[in-house]
Amino acid sequence: MPVCVRSEIGPLKRVLLQRPGRELEHLVPETMGTLLFDDIPYLRRAQEEHDEFAALLRSQGVEVLYLDELMAETLRAVPGLRDQFIVDAVEQAGSITRGYRQEAREYLESISDDLELIRRIMAGVPRSEIFPRNSGHLADLLGEKSDFVMPPMPNLYFTRDPFAVIGNGVSLHHMHTKTRKREVIFGQYIFNYHPDYRGQVKQYYDRADYFSIEGGDILNLNARVLGVGISERTQAEAIEHLAANVFADEAGEIDTVLAFLIPHTRAFMHLDTVFTQVDTDKFTVHPGILPFLRIFGITGKGKKSLTIRELSETPEQALARCLGLDRVKMLRCGGSDRIAADREQWNDGSNTLCVSPGKVLVYDRNYVTNRLLEDSGIEVLSFDGSELSRGRGGPRCMSMPFERTDM
């Protein structure tokens, strides 16, 4: 199968990344909040850190794919698709872009190299690249250098969110924020038109669906159990819809969805910012969510309707039962130190990427949590994320597994 992910910890074989590009240099203080950044990363250093991340993955035998390269391959594979994609990219980029649709299309059509076309769309197109200063437009006479005909997409290096591989299928997401909605266009084209995926990957959710859901909230706990966070960015209605579609797939194995209600705050924007699996029976967790965490079980495979009930078990009890284990262990981000927990949570101390059972990739800056992982028998592969972490995402956020070996 072209994609296969039935766990969070099975040996990682193939993963999708996106190396940060000029879109980070198109962040300015006035637009940081709108574009979901708290600071402006230094691009060259962010790229060096991302390259270190990719090299660590390759050292573990993982094949690394890049979103922009995969998308360029998609355009080359289907005659006429490039023109269709340019039209879609312009129409989905916002009202200002649509207001200049003819000029924007002509500009993009003039870029002959497919990979460069994709990267320009990701980076955003400033007015100055389309209109000269003497164009006569009032907006140009105002001299607003930070104006964009097509806005940048600086969150793209977090490949986890726009779609998620679930078993042998994929969920294409309706993103919560206006800023990130059009990121899904790349996954939509890849899974609909790339020769390696076209017609071979079941789609469990569509970006046109009404309710928001994002990949950082989706965890493949095992072949039968899917975990989904009810979070700042994933709605309960979306989880019901996803569960119904997953259960309706007769070839699929998933028969249980665990929905985890977490506090709806930016610090805990997705389930994987507060909770990830690091070994067969071990999970990281931010202790700040535990007093508020509620768990709901959703079943109904082979039936006409879903059965939904709140579980009276502790997280440890619910996970152990659903995973067929005697017990599971929760490793608290920051240990017992509240200050360390909050600090390292902000820098994604709980956002680990498991490359095989008991072996995880992490940011080295979260040294309290990393030491706790090592003391619990977890092999820690760390790298510098000082610039990457400014986007509020860690190693799991920056990766979308396409294939893991079954446990």
CATH numbers and ranges of domains, the chain? 12-68+156-404 (3.75.10.10)
Percent of the chain with pLDDT over 70: 95
Model pLDDT, residue 371: 92
Alpha-carbon distance of 397 to 406, in angstroms, equals: 22
Query: Does the structure show a pLDDT above 80 at 67?
Result: yes
Strand ranges, E, within 35-160: 63-66, 125-126, 148-150
The per-residue pLDDT of the chain, averaged, comes to 91
262 neighbors 296 (Cβ within 8 angstroms): no
Residue 287 — very low, low, confident or very high, per pLDDT cuts 50/70/90? confident
Model pLDDT, residue 143: 59
Q: Is the dihedral of CA 163, 167, 168, 169 positive or negative?
A: negative
Residue type, position 132, single letter: P
Query: Does the structure show a pLDDT above 90 at 350?
Result: no
401 neighbors 354 (Cβ within 8 angstroms): no
Model pLDDT, residue 127: 85
The model's pLDDT over 305-325, given as tens digits with 9 standing for 90+, comes to 999 999 999 889 999 999 999
Q: DSSP letter string over 107-136? A: HHHT---HHHHHHHHHH-EEHHHHS-TTS-
Residue 52 — very low, low, confident or very high, per pLDDT cuts 50/70/90? very high
The model's pLDDT over 178-203, given as tens digits with 9 standing for 90+, comes to 889 999 999 999 999 999 999 999 99
The model's pLDDT over 122-171, given as tens digits with 9 standing for 90+, comes to 999 988 888 766 666 766 666 555 588 899 999 999 999 999 999 999 99
Residue 105 — very low, low, confident or very high, per pLDDT cuts 50/70/90? very high
Across the range 86-94, mean pLDDT stands at 92
Model pLDDT, residue 266: 64
Q: Which residue of the set 4, 322, 333, 397 is catalytic? A: 397
Residue 233 — very low, low, confident or very high, per pLDDT cuts 50/70/90? very high
264 neighbors 232 (Cβ within 8 angstroms): yes
Q: Tell which wins on pLDDT, 129 or 50.
A: 50
Residue type, position 101, single letter: R
- State the pTM of this model: 0.94
Across the range 59-83, mean pLDDT stands at 97
Which residues pair with residue 227 across a beta bridge?
Answer: 219, 258
Across the range 357-372, mean pLDDT stands at 93
Active site residue 4: no
Across the range 81-96, mean pLDDT stands at 92
